[in-house]
């Protein structure tokens, strides 16, 4: 397992947090997701042989949020 932290822009409430957590948890290879509204970030534990950083970012973007580089 590998852990990455992605900075997310556009979250304004608990519903945003839940949306991001849900889309990430649906991805194959994602084991654990912790989304923080206060820190504007998601800490994701995933299997890099099943999911890539680009897939994680795409899922967040598709949910309507921006991932900061």
Contacts with 25 (C-beta within 8 Å, 6 or more apart), sequence order: 33
pTM score of the predicted model: 0.91
- pLDDT at position 8, please? 97
Q: What is the rounded CA–CA span in Å between residue 57 and residue 60?
A: 5
- pLDDT at position 18, please? 96
Confidence of residue 69 (pLDDT cuts 50, 70, 90): confident
Q: State the total domains in the chain.
A: 1
Q: Which domain holds residue 22?
A: 2-68
Model confidence pLDDT, tens digit, residues 8-61: 999 999 999 999 999 999 999 999 999 999 999 999 999 999 999 999 999 999
The CATH number covering residue 18 comes to: 3.30.70.100
- pLDDT at position 53, please? 95
């Amino acid at each position: 397992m590998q852990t990455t932290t992605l900075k997310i822009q556009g979250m304004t409430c608990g519903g945003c947090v839940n949306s991001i957590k849900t889309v990430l948890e649906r991805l194959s290879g994602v084991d654990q997701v912790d989304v923080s509204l206060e820190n504007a970030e998601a800490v994701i534990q995933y299997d890099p042989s099943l999911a890539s950083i680009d897939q994680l970012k795409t899922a967040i973007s598709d949910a309507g949020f921006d991932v900061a580089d």
